[in-house]
Every structure is written in C-alpha cells, then in structure tokens.
Amino acid sequence: MTPPRRTQVGIIGAGPAGLLLSHLLHLRGIDSVVLERRSRDHVERRIRAGVLEQGTVDTLVAAGVGDRLTREGLVHHGIELRYGGTGHRVPFERLVPGRAITVYGQQEVVKDLIAARLAAGGDIRFEVGDVAVHDAATDAPYLTFDGQRLDCDVIAGCDGFHGVSRASVPEGELTVYERDYPFAWLGVLARVEPSAEELIYAWNERGFALHSMRSPEISRFYLQVPAGEDVADWPNERIWAELRARLETVPGFTLTTGEIVEKGVTPMRSFVAEPMRHGNLFLAGDAAHIVPPTGAKGLNLAVADVRVLTEALAHRYATGSGDLLDAYSETCLRRVWRAQHFSWWMTTLLHTFETDDAYARRLQVSHLDYVTSSEAAATTLAENYVGLPYERDLPEPTEQ
C-alpha cells in the first residue's frame, strides 16, 4: 500500500451530493477528496431528476456554479393536474410568491460542479475500486481504495442507495423504514419540442402519466407500468400510443411525437435509514433515503443534506464545537420525513392501484377535486413542491 494521504473530509461518490459538498467545503477553506467508482463520462451522462426547488437553485447560484443553470434552466411558475377531461393549473406565483421550480437536468448540475471543482484544483478521483470505510466510529476514520489509504477527520457517504457507505454501518446500528410500490415508471427521453409550457401530472384510469421537459428541444415523459416491467415490451409505437391515451384527454391538446433517444424502467420506493450518522461517517442523499419521484424531491433532499453538513463542519472547524454535527441527523430527518410524506401523498393521489375498487377511485377523484378547488389545499401542494425554506442560512465563504 502506498503511503497514506490526509484530508479533512473524505467523500465517497461524485454525484450531486458529493460534488456539491466538496465545493461548498472548498469555499469555506475545508479540504476534501472525492472518490467515485464510475468514469467521469459515465457520471456526466447518466440521466436523473430534472426539477430543482427554489432553494436548490439559490444554493447553486450562491456557490458560484449557477451561470449555465440561470442561462439555460427553464423556470416554471406552476404545474398542471390533469384528470376527468380537464386541466387544473396550480399557480405558484400566486400561492407561494417569489418561489418557483427550475427544470435543469441532474447531469447538467454534475457537469457544472465537476468543472468548478477541477478549475479550483479539487481532488476528484474517478474509476477507483474497492473503496472501504474503516474505523468510522473512532476519531481517526480512514478510507482505502486501489491499494491506497486516505486518512480523514470525517467521511461523507454520498454514494447512493447501493453504495458502500450505508453498508459499512454495523448491523443493528440503523433503523430502516421502507415501502415498495406495486408499480414502476417507464421513463422516456425524446428529441421533440415539449407539448406544454409546464409539467403535466395526469391521473387516468389507465395509469399515471407525466409530461416533462429538459430543454426547448427535448421532452421527458413517464408512464406508470407494473413493477418489474421489461422495457423491451415497450416499443416506441406502444409508448406514444399510451402517452396519447393518458395525456390527450383535454380538448385542443395534441401530443408532439418524434425520436425516442432513451428509455428505462425505474422502481418506485420509499426508504429511510436512521440515524444518518455513525461515528464520523455521515450519510447524505440516496445513501440515507429514497423517495418515489412523483414529488421531485430526490436531488433536492441531497442538496438539503449537504447544506446542513457543510454548516456543521464549518462550525466545527471554526469553533471546535461538534454541536451541529451532533444535530446533523435530526436536522436532516425533519425535512426528509416531510418530503417522504409529500412524495407518498403525490404518488397515492395520482397513480392507480390494482387493489382499487370503484369506491377507491371515487375517493381519489374527490381528493383531486379538493386539491384543485381549495386555496388551502393547493397552497399545501405548491409550498411543498417548490421546496420548504431552509432552517439556517449557509455560513459566508472564507477568502480563498
């Protein structure tokens, strides 16, 4: 093994959580090393979420990585709930003034963060193997990978649901809460102009559908399909036919079709592991929690976790106090469980369940009627969708 290197924060995973944490720490004079098992090309190309909350946008802009986001992101001031042959707009500009969402692909956020870290001399190591966490419960944790050792003050596990970080916590140290849904999402990326200016969430007895977009030239669609569905059973012609059946339910609306460039099936899952800390190992993002994508919360929760961890680490290095680190899990979990509930609520509101009978379907329509006719109910949806305010502001960056 080569001689060990030392850093203040060892970060596992070069997704949005790990990269943003590394960059925010850099702005506060805190050193980090990011370890990623995939190649840079793979990380920058994988398609994930594309709806950014107001707080996520504000965080990226304040961190100096929002130039392209501000220039190319699509700002939306509402969404449409479509059911029963009618579209009902939820107007953010009236219900939650000054707050909106921005459509900007997760892979674009990753590209911006990688470029910023490398430009600042950041240490990101791609295609590393055999990453392992050691002595996390002590004051001298370290990571090993590819015959090398990295000594750290703190380890941040930002390596997703299937990563090594959470698996490194001894059995019995975590309490897991989870739910698997009896359906999945068939996601489609198409080289076609969006057929609407804002996202459309469509309830239909055939199943849920979502019309989204990535740019003025690229559209993103989702179809509710059975859990475990094989994407090979969905040729392009069938996809377009089903999207038309579920979305062309409002007079005058025509779905624009064209070239499909990517498609895949995503399972629907709710998952939380508590606490989000084991000694000096801190879990963030999908390593600690998963939400069904209906509420558009996954990436945004990761950013919220990273903000809390950044503040706690900056406080520790500035004052020597571990109070905020001790509160990390509890602080994050308050937002995590709110997002869990909202995501579950949106999922059960808009999807069909095989066990539903006529009574359950009528209740679902009644609930949709209430959300689209009550100012209070619509405001609850809007304020959760655009993102709740953060509990604390980030500390000011130190001079670099």
Tens-digit pLDDT profile for residues 303-359 = 999 999 999 999 999 999 999 999 999 999 999 999 999 999 999 999 999 887 899
Find the mean pLDDT for residues 222-247: 97
> Does residue 394 surpass a pLDDT of 80?
no
Find the mean pLDDT for residues 191-218: 96
53-68: burial string, b at 16+ Cβ within 10 Å, e else = bbbbbbbbeebebbee
The confidence score (pLDDT) of residue 400 equals 45
Find the mean pLDDT for residues 62-75: 97
% the chain with pLDDT above 90: 93
The set of residues, in sequence order, having a beta carbon less than 8 Å from that of 68 and lying 6+ positions away, is 108, 112
Residue with tokens 């993103």: 220
- Options 83, 104, 201, 328, the catalytic residue: 201
The confidence score (pLDDT) of residue 398 equals 55
The confidence score (pLDDT) of residue 391 equals 77
Residues 272, 291 contacting (CB under 8 angstroms): no
% the chain with pLDDT above 70: 98
Is 76 in the active site?
A: yes
The confidence score (pLDDT) of residue 237 equals 97
Instruction: Render 277-322 in DSSP notation, one character per residue.
Output: EETTEEE-GGGTEE--GGG--HHHHHHHHHHHHHHHHHHHHHHS--
Rounded distance between C-alpha atoms, residue 247 and residue 249, angstroms: 5
The set of residues, in sequence order, having a beta carbon less than 8 Å from that of 1 and lying 6+ positions away, is 144, 147, 148, 149
Order across the sheet with 9-12: list the strands.
123-125, 32-35, 9-12, 154-157, 281-283, 277-278
Rounded distance between C-alpha atoms, residue 372 and residue 295, angstroms: 17
The confidence score (pLDDT) of residue 393 equals 67
Is 390 in the active site?
A: no
- Options 16, 23, 26, 76, the catalytic residue: 76
Rounded distance between C-alpha atoms, residue 273 and residue 285, angstroms: 11
Is 367 in the active site?
A: no
Is 201 in the active site?
A: yes
- Options 211, 293, 328, 351, the catalytic residue: 293
Rounded distance between C-alpha atoms, residue 222 and residue 266, angstroms: 10
Residue 111 Cα to chain centre, angstroms = 16
The confidence score (pLDDT) of residue 397 equals 56
Rounded distance between C-alpha atoms, residue 102 and residue 50, angstroms: 8
Residues 273, 253 contacting (CB under 8 angstroms): no
Which of these, 152, 244, 231, 156, lies nearest to 187 by C-alpha position? 231
The confidence score (pLDDT) of residue 46 equals 81
- Options 26, 211, 297, 351, the catalytic residue: 297
Position 3 confidence tier, pLDDT thresholds 50, 70, 90:
confident
> Pairing state of beta strands 289-290 and 259-274?
antiparallel
> Does residue 399 surpass a pLDDT of 50?
no
* Mean pLDDT for the chain overall: 95
Token representation of residue 250: 């409002």
Q: Which CATH architecture has domain 5-77+99-174+269-354?
A: 3-Layer(bba) Sandwich (3.50)
> Hey, where are the domains in the chain?
5-77+99-174+269-354
- Residue 54 identity (one-letter amino acid): Q
Is 289 in the active site?
A: no
Rounded distance between C-alpha atoms, residue 245 and residue 258, angstroms: 16
Residues 132, 143 contacting (CB under 8 angstroms): yes
Find the mean pLDDT for residues 31-48: 93
CA distances 48 to 56, 110, 333, 396, Å, are: 15, 11, 23, 30
The confidence score (pLDDT) of residue 49 equals 73
Position 50 confidence tier, pLDDT thresholds 50, 70, 90:
confident
The continuous run of DSSP H or E covering 125 comes out as strand 123-125
